[in-house]
């Protein structure tokens, strides 16, 4: 929804009022929680990407709530503060894309388009380049479609017990040794049952 708005598929002065709950809850809170569950599952890439992007979308949702309430005025296409947000997102997402190469090609595609969108978003917001912000929306939509495919493929594989849709799993994936409950778990005191 946010990406389609950035690409100018729809939108008017009331759009922030409709975008903020979707960005904050679906894009933010749900994704942040996925990052915390990924931490428990010891998936470093998913923890970093879901945690960071979930935090971003919660912040973005709050920002657009403030815009909708008239507390903050959008300064136009040049919005330096948001440009700096996107620089941080781009830097970390490019590294996440590189790390995802050890897991699956479909995840590389998701993070590659997300990182490219963050990069064009940073440049667009810092320079006021409207066409770059539109391109950002399209790159984010491509990433969203790739994410839908990847998540659907993983869900189907889990449900059926075998790969239904390919995700291009890397041969570099190694099995982690099983962890004994209570040993090395965050917040668990040794010997506590």
Residue 179 within a domain: no
Does residue 103 lie within any of the structural domains? Answer: yes
Together in a domain, 99 and 130 = yes
What is the Cα–Cα distance from 37 to 47, expressed in whole angstroms? 8
| Paired residues of 104 in beta bridges | 169
pLDDT per position as a tens digit, 97-129: 999 998 899 999 999 999 999 999 999 999 999
The answer as to whether 124 is a domain residue is yes
**How many separate domains does the chain show?**
2
**Residue 190: inside a domain, yes or no?**
no
pLDDT surpassing 50 at residue 79 = yes
Residues 9, 38, single domain; the answer is yes
In a domain, 2, yes or no: yes
Q: Are residues 63 and 118 in the same domain?
A: no
Instruction: State whether 98 and 50 are in the same domain.
Output: no
Q: Does residue 32 share a domain with residue 92?
A: no
Q: How far is CA 140 from CA 110, 135, 146, 179, in A?
A: 9, 9, 10, 37
Q: What is the pLDDT of residues 24-71, one digit of tens each?
A: 888 888 889 888 988 888 888 989 999 999 999 899 889 888 988 889
Assess whether 67 and 140 both reside in one domain.
Answer: no
Q: Are residues 64 and 93 in the same domain?
A: no
Mean pLDDT for the chain overall? 85
């Amino acid at each position: 929804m946010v990406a389609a708005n950035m690409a100018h598929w729809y939108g008017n002065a009331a759009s922030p009022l409709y975008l903020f709950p979707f960005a904050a809850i679906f894009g933010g809170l749900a994704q942040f929680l996925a990052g915390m569950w990924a931490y428990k599952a010891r998936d470093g890439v998913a923890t970093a990407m879901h945690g960071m992007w979930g935090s971003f979308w919660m912040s973005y949702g709050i920002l657009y709530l403030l815009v909708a309430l008239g507390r903050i005025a959008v300064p136009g296409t040049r919005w330096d503060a948001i440009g700096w947000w996107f620089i941080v997102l781009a830097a970390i997402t490019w590294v996440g894309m590189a790390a995802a190469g050890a897991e699956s090609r479909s995840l590389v595609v998701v993070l590659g388009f997300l990182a490219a969108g963050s990069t064009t978003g940073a440049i667009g917001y810092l320079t006021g380049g409207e066409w770059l912000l539109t391109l950002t929306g399209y790159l984010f939509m491509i990433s969203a479609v790739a994410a839908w495919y990847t998540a659907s493929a993983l869900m189907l594989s889990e449900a059926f017990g075998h790969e239904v849709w390919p995700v291009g799993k890397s041969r570099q994936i190694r099995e982690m040794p099983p962890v004994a409950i209570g040993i090395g778990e965050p917040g668990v005191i040794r010997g506590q049952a």
